[in-house]
């Protein structure tokens, strides 16, 4: 238990529905902080389109400096038609932040929650038991290669070094050891040079993990298998763009893109925690977005901060809320974003009554033994 720890969390609500969903996550964290002897301090800063409006840049230097100095960064989402086509779009700020913080590993866990199979657009017998972690490489590939553009032709260069592939492969194999001991590496090695190096490098890294099974799939076949046989996957290891696309597909197997949180981490320094969805412009400002992905991201943040017990408590409160039938519109319900968040906090309060008792007992015991 990490009592008496104080931590600085930079919150980047961003654009569209980002501020709505991240506000619910922050309120959950504040509740946990108040009850559990923590001192989580939040600094909320403009980012993305909001920062273009106020500071002329999606990632102002002051925001980047605050993120670098934080214990963790919690983000909503960025982007929207207002800023589309600008020389520096909100999305460019996000890429710059990921790169500046060295966040090469993006972890996107998705599962069909037992009892909630009916939320899946897939048949229950196909969806049942699906539990997949996408390990997406986040600071390389076509996202960061040189680009050219003219009215007649354009190009995006895709580059991967062996070292970049090795370090993300280690993340995937280590995660698989803690889960179902299987890695599926997804590439396009029948076409792309980067994928050929990817496959060769992953095979070499796999030798260090004899207890973990490895197989390979081409990305097109993987996209198909995700919706025909999602249980065949445990950890999916893949490059930046394939991971982006496959994780949106995977998210709806559980019911909605609004459900998935993510952790982006590097070797050192603060992690960035954000739902996988975008700014959901079509529903922004209506208080109807699903804050589950933002709350799940907050739970992952707690875990990465060494507060796994609190992350677990938050994740459980989220699961209970969904199982109790509290659902936002994307899941066919009528709960507002704020109502959903409040229901999660209601479960947290109930749980924390027991936690307080537990805390007192631990403190008393410590007192006795001292
Ligand atoms: P999107 O994820 O914002 O929305 C896709 C669909 O899913 C929409 O119908 C939306 O209403 C729905 N949706 C998304 N999140 C939801 C939630 N929490 N609850 C309920 N429904 C939800 O993707 P898009 O429409 O392609 O992109 C919109 C903007 O967001 C673009 O500017 C894009 O670049 C940006 N974007 C940002 C991020 C990010 O910040 N990490 C991620 C993806 C897209
Ligand atoms: C995501 C988003 C981003 C990405 C965009 C907004 C740059 O789609 O986080 O999944 O492609 O990585
Ligand atoms: Mn995406």
Rounded distance from Cα 352 to ligand 2 centre (Å): 35
Answer whether residue 360 shows pLDDT above 70.
Answer: no
Residue 55 CB-density burial (10 A; 0-12 exposed, 13-18 middle, 19+ buried): middle
Mind listing the domains of the chain with CATH numbers?
Answer: 1-103+266-370 (3.40.718.10), 107-265 (3.40.718.10)
The Cβ of residue 267 has, within 10 Å, a number of other Cβ atoms equal to: 9
State the Cα angle at 360 between 359 and 365, rounded to 5°: 100
Average pLDDT over residues 215-230: 98
Q: Is 89 in the pocket of ligand 2 (CB under 6 A)?
A: no
Decide if pLDDT at 368 tops 90.
no
Decide if 248 is catalytic: yes
pLDDT of 36 reads 86
- Note if 220 is an active site residue: yes
Q: What is the pLDDT of residues 271-323, one digit of tens each?
A: 999 999 999 999 999 999 999 999 999 999 999 999 999 999 999 999 999 99
Which residue owns the Cα nearest ligand 2 atom 4?
Answer: 244
Exposed (0-12), middle (13-18) or buried (19+): which is 115, by Cβ within 10 Å?
A: exposed
278 alpha carbon – ligand 2 mean position (Å): 7
User: Of 10, 17, 12, 9, which is closest to residue 257 (Cα–Cα)?
Assistant: 17
27 is catalytic: no
Q: Which atom of ligand 1 is closest in space to residue 294's alpha carbon?
A: 18
Give me the sheet containing 72-77, strands edge to edge: 39-44, 6-14, 72-77, 271-275, 261-265, 105-111, 131-137, 235-238, 182-187, 213-218
pLDDT reading at 340 higher than 80 = yes
Q: Catalytic pick from 15, 71, 244, 330? A: 244
Tokens of 51: 């920062």
Atom of ligand 2 nearest to the CA of 244: 10
CA distance 254 to 180: 19
Q: Name the pairing type of β-strands 131-137 and 105-111.
A: antiparallel
> Token match 């992952």: residue?
300
pLDDT at 342 over 90: yes
Taking residues 328-347, report their average pLDDT. Answer: 98
- Angle at CA of residue 14, ends 342 and 312, nearest 5°: 45
* pLDDT band at 84; cut points 50, 70, 90: very high
Confidence of residue 2 (pLDDT cuts 50, 70, 90): very low
How far apart are the CA of 367 and the centre of ligand 3, in A? 50
pLDDT digits (tens, 9 = 90+) for 99-131: 999 999 999 999 999 999 999 999 999 999 999
State if residue 276 touches ligand 2 by the CB under 6 angstroms criterion.
yes
Nearest-CA residue for ligand 2 atom 3 is 91
Neighbours of 332 (CB within 10 A): 11
Of the candidates 143, 347, 167, 346, the one whose C-alpha atom is nearest the C-alpha of residue 265 is: 167
Q: What is the mean pLDDT of the chain?
A: 95
Q: Is the CB of 50 under 6 A from ligand 1?
A: no
Report whether residue 258 contacts ligand 1, using a CB cutoff of 6 Å. Answer: yes
Residue 18 CA to ligand 1 center (angstroms) comes to: 9
Buried b (16+ CB within 10 A) or exposed e, 176-200: beeebeebbbbbbbeebebbebbbe
Closest CA to 321 of 349, 293, 351, 346: 346
Q: Which of 4-18, 72-86, 313-327 has the lowest mean pLDDT?
A: 4-18
In this prediction, residue 93 has a pLDDT band, given cuts at 50, 70 and 90, of very high
What confidence category does residue 37 fall into, taking pLDDT thresholds of 50, 70 and 90?
Answer: confident
Tell me, using a 6 A CB cutoff, whether residue 91 lines ligand 2: yes
**What is the whole-number distance in angstroms between the Cα of residue 253 and the centre of ligand 3?**
16
- 213 strand-pairing partners: 182
Q: What's the pLDDT score for residue 41?
A: 96
Assess whether pLDDT exceeds 90 at residue 369.
no
How do 72-77 and 271-275 pair as beta strands?
parallel
Q: Is the pLDDT reported for residue 3 higher than 60? A: no
The preferred substitution site among 278, 279, 294, 297 for testing ligand 2, maximizing ligand atoms within 8 Å of CB, is 278
- Is 94 touching ligand 2 by the criterion CB < 6 Å? yes
Place of tokens 């048949």: 123
pLDDT above 80 for 82 = yes
Strands in 95-232 per DSSP E? 105-111, 131-137, 147-149, 154-156, 182-187, 213-218
């Amino acid at each position: 238990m990490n009592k008496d720890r104080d931590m600085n969390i930079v919150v980047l609500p961003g654009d569209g529905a980002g501020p709505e969903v991240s506000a619910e996550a922050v309120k959950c964290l504040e509740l946990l902080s108040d009850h559990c002897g923590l001192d989580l301090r939040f600094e909320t800063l403009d980012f993305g389109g909001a920062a273009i409006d106020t500071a002329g840049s999606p990632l102002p230097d002051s925001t980047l400096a605050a993120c670098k100095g934080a214990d963790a960064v919690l983000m909503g989402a960025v982007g929207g038609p207002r800023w589309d086509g600008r020389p520096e779009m909100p999305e460019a700020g996000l890429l710059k932040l990921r790169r500046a913080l060295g966040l090469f590993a993006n972890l996107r866990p998705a599962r069909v929650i037992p009892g909630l199979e009916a939320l899946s657009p897939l048949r229950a017998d196909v969806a049942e038991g699906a539990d997949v972690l996408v390990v997406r490489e986040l600071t390389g590939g076509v996202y960061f290669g040189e680009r050219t553009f003219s009215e007649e032709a354009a190009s995006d260069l895709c580059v991967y070094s062996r070292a970049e592939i090795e370090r993300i492969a280690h993340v995937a194999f280590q995660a698989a050891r803690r889960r179902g001991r299987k890695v599926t590496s997804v590439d396009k090695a029948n076409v792309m040079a980067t994928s050929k190096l990817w496959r060769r490098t992953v095979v070499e890294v796999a030798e260090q993990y004899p207890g973990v099974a490895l197989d390979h799939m081409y990305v097109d076949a993987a996209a198909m298998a995700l919706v025909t046989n999602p249980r065949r996957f445990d950890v999916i290891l893949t490059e930046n763009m394939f991971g982006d696309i496959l994780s949106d597909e995977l998210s709806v197997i559980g019911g909605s893109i609004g459900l998935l949180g993510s952790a982006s981490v590097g070797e050192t320094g603060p992690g960035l925690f954000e739902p996988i969805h975008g700014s959901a412009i079509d529903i922004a400002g209506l208080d109807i977005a699903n804050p589950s992905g933002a709350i799940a991201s907050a739970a992952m943040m707690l875990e990465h901060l060494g507060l796994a017990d609190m992350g677990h408590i938050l994740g459980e409160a989220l699961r209970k809320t969904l199982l109790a039938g509290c659902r936002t519109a994307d899941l066919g319900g009528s709960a507002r974003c704020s109502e959903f968040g409040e229901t999660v906090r209601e479960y947290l309060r109930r749980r924390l009554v027991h936690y307080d008792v537990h805390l007192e007992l631990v403190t008393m015991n410590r007192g006795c033994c001292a």
